[in-house]
Structure 1
């Protein structure tokens, strides 16, 4: 009997086939002559190894390390378990340059020089690390089982195909993914916490799966790609996943970026395609952490509600679905989104989305619960609707919600703020007896004062006699002395005007006055009230009159010059007259009177 050596990284079936060829027979026949079956060698059974070691004069432990053992429908290679598909021993896979190197090995018996490396059947390995050469894959030899495991018979059965492959080699540098495969077979784990926690078969599979989705799209299957494309996919997936959790997040960001919009109740398949469906069908416990990281990241960065299923439904989410919005707040989700966009709490692109961020939903729901339309606002403070509108124009009330960001909406006012406003006025009441006092509306008629002027006096506590009639609603309960009001509104003789007084003369709002003062277009000072000694902001009468003589607002120009808004705009356009102050700063267009009058004359 002739003998052959067990070569470096040679698999057990290759050694058996070469041993048989040296003795001019097949592996199947040789095994029968030794009292075992070739299938036993293929399975790596202990008995077959002991017999082959005895006849082949090789230490049993060496043969055992070269064996590939069957493990419940899978195979164990160097302690790593692979499904049969991923460790394809039935296919003739080899490196042409390794075979050429074998052919030049004069120390080996002719016809037994070539041998199969134990790493070649690994489907994910597509480049020879020694020669930087593409692995050739000729498929399954046309032989019956277990004879297609006999490497020597397989070469004869596929002689033409093998000859073509030897003549058409191509070079390529091994990828980091392939280096990872080989290092893991040497029990080296240094490739990130996610991959290191998985068995090699699963880690390699997930890398390739992620790479396919990243490079070729979420619905692309492995079967539609060639070996070069799969080689690139394995490398790309490894680049992401070897980075651990942050690398996985980078991959998921790529997948998220391919969807223009994500429904709140969407499932993982819609977001990640085959990457998700394939992983979901794998119930390997080693994937639990991997799936959990995907689930938690998706819930954290995507607008997903509790109805979304990405490896399970989330217990808590940043977003609420339409059903959750209805159940939790009792409001129409579409109306909530519309008002949230108008309020600047939600991006206009999300107005038709099916979900809302929880914090936005809570905020807008609180506002809507507190909000009232102008008619009800007027009723709450006990005034006529027209009076409320006048107070609104005078700047006493700002809407809680209104049109904005492309959304048209009726103004809504805060119920709480309105009631607090009434409460503030009620706290100014200083008389129990109502004798000689009249309601604000009556006082307005007797003194020709505006309702807003009297409210200003009340808020500034400039009236000594203020009563409260509890049986009347809101401001209708205020009782004041018309005579005192008349005196309080009489022209001042101290050479100053209160800011509120000039505001009334200009027929403008608190916001506009504040902007004029802040921009130093009007000079003001703080003085003590002569009686109450309370600090108050005033403007010299001379400065106020100079401002009124010099400037006029667009709205006041209509009234003062008796021109239509259309003609006024025409005059401004033809003359090219610009506002005297920045409109975005002041909020109202003021013009130099002299220039505006000249522009109007040209139009007339």
Structure 2
């Protein structure tokens, strides 16, 4: 068993292992890299939160190993980490910029007078990208340093020593802001405290990232130049998305619907309307953790967007149309949208133009409407109907008077229309059992001539 070092700091609340070993080295008067080499303890393994490295560090400092693990990210491989029971991509927990709260760091120095940089330490929750505020001081987390080299980046004591004058002078201080519900939700999730949010059922970072993407889409409506928001305003996207997502799927769907009706035209497509929310879920965020949000967006678009074969939905071709708009149906039928809408109103599929939505967003179920559209596609005027059945106007009027060939559509503010297909079926029923002939023979006449000669 390793004998603990006589000089060792106390592990502080939420302190990471890399911060602690850096302070341990500083207390013993050596740099972190040299200290780790002397102790046979690779600093890279401490940074990665490897169990054997943390156990060795715990022995050297007489510290509880579970306390060391509690707020230290553990590398799992393939750029993924485990943190507070959550599986996170490196972008969520190991960015090249280390952030922190200057007010917390000043408190650290006040607690250790005469040893300014040695008293300051890095809290684990500061590493988590969705955390943007210190709830204790209501101070935004600010960039402390940016370093590409991993060993230098996490040598906390050395880096804090470099910026300690700026911290003490208040040069890193920013305007305070009150915590919002997203800040409080993230804190509760990291602390392991359940909340009443609909998002609690999902992976923490996937849920937070979804809030951010949804928030960015909403800000695109309210603030056209939202893309120019700097990192210091990232909290605005998280907060905005959380506001609409926390209450449940219905609110999310309502929000998506409002976005697609507000931004541009339906012909712009979901990619243009939803921006990064669509792009990231469709092409980048393909892991299992994002599956619920991906399916929610896909189902919403398929159910509320007039997409058909030939269109693309989240990187996959649309094979079957689920929803028609007046505009898409008119295009498929080759009809004027105004005329088609009147016909659809008469059969109760859509609302009148005065009370409904624009033709591009007046939607109806494509499968349920198909029989009606098939009929509409064969409807013709009286003149065209007579020509199609090779009958005179007078004969047509006589047949109508006797109850034959009623119009398929008759009402509203448009002319009656007849279904040629139904008329042919009616005639065929009259000829049940008859034998058709294809060349005129002596004594044979067509129906109109026979009817005329018989005065019927």
- Normalised to the residue count of structure 1, the TM-score between the two structures is 0.59
Q: Which residue of 2 aligns with 1:363?
A: 372
Please state how far the C-alpha of 1:476 moved relative to its aligned partner. Answer: 7.0
Q: Which residue of 1 aligns with 2:302?
A: 299
Note if contact 1:342-1:403 (Cα within 8 Å) is conserved in structure 2. no
SS in 2 for 1:49: helix
In 2, Cα distance between equivalents of 1:191 and 1:129: 20
Q: Which residue of 1 aligns with 2:260?
A: 256
Q: Which residue of 1 aligns with 2:98?
A: 92
Q: Which residue of 2 aligns with 1:279?
A: 281
Match of 2:22 among 17, 22, 36: 17
CA gap of 1:102–1:160, structure 2 versus 1, over 3 A, is closer
CA gap of 1:391–1:103, structure 2 versus 1, over 3 A, is same
In 2, Cα distance between equivalents of 1:276 and 1:352: 20
In 1, Cα distance between equivalents of 2:50 and 2:121: 21
Superposed, 1:453-602 pairs within 5 Å as: 477-478=454-455
Please state how far the C-alpha of 1:150 moved relative to its aligned partner. Answer: 1.5
Q: Does 1:212 align with 2:216?
A: yes
In 1, Cα distance between equivalents of 2:95 and 2:369: 58
Q: Which residue of 1 aligns with 2:245?
A: 241
In 1, Cα distance between equivalents of 2:454 and 2:193: 86
Note if contact 1:336-1:364 (Cα within 8 Å) is conserved in structure 2. no
Note if contact 2:323-2:363 (Cα within 8 Å) is conserved in structure 1. no
Note if contact 1:16-1:27 (Cα within 8 Å) is conserved in structure 2. yes
In 2, Cα distance between equivalents of 1:173 and 1:134: 10
- Normalised to the residue count of structure 2, the TM-score between the two structures is 0.76
Q: Which residue of 1 aligns with 2:119?
A: 113
- Return 5+ residue gaps in structure 1 as ranges: 423-469, 480-604
SS in 2 for 1:92: strand
In 1, Cα distance between equivalents of 2:228 and 2:27: 42
Please state how far the C-alpha of 1:208 moved relative to its aligned partner. Answer: 0.7
Q: Which residue of 2 aligns with 1:78?
A: 84
In 2, Cα distance between equivalents of 1:219 and 1:269: 18
In 1, Cα distance between equivalents of 2:388 and 2:208: 71
Q: Does 1:333 align with 2:333?
A: yes
Deviates more, 1:284-293 or 1:345-354: 345-354
Please state how far the C-alpha of 1:110 moved relative to its aligned partner. Answer: 5.6
CA gap of 1:332–1:245, structure 2 versus 1, over 3 A, is closer
CA gap of 1:180–1:222, structure 2 versus 1, over 3 A, is farther
In 2, Cα distance between equivalents of 1:344 and 1:124: 49
Note if contact 1:126-1:227 (Cα within 8 Å) is conserved in structure 2. no
Note if contact 1:372-1:414 (Cα within 8 Å) is conserved in structure 2. no
In 2, Cα distance between equivalents of 1:179 and 1:226: 22
Q: Which residue of 2 aligns with 1:567?
A: none
In 2, Cα distance between equivalents of 1:355 and 1:201: 37
SS in 2 for 1:304: coil
Note if contact 1:207-1:241 (Cα within 8 Å) is conserved in structure 2. yes
Superposed, 1:114-193 pairs within 5 Å as: 114-141=120-147, 144-159=149-164, 161-163=166-168, 165-166=170-171, 168-190=173-195, 192-193=197-198
Note if contact 1:214-1:254 (Cα within 8 Å) is conserved in structure 2. no
Match of 1:198 among 196, 202, 205: 202
Note if contact 2:214-2:241 (Cα within 8 Å) is conserved in structure 1. yes
Deviations 1:516-535 (A, max 9, x none): xxxxxxxxxxxxxxxxxxxx
Deviations 1:409-457 (A, max 9, x none): 87544569989999xxxxxxxxxxxxxxxxxxxxxxxxxxxxxxxxxxx
In 2, Cα distance between equivalents of 1:35 and 1:420: 92
Q: Which residue of 2 aligns with 1:52?
A: 57
CA gap of 1:350–1:19, structure 2 versus 1, over 3 A, is same
Structure number with greater CO (CA < 8 Å, separation at least 6) is 2
In 2, Cα distance between equivalents of 1:415 and 1:173: 70
In 1, Cα distance between equivalents of 2:222 and 2:275: 5
**Who wins on radius of gyration, i.e. which is larger?**
1
In 2, Cα distance between equivalents of 1:246 and 1:111: 50
SS in 1 for 2:10: coil
Let me know the Cα RMSD of the aligned residues.
4.4
In 1, Cα distance between equivalents of 2:158 and 2:114: 19
Superposed, 1:313-332 pairs within 5 Å as: 313=317, 316-319=320-323
Q: Which residue of 1 aligns with 2:437?
A: none
CA gap of 1:256–1:167, structure 2 versus 1, over 3 A, is closer
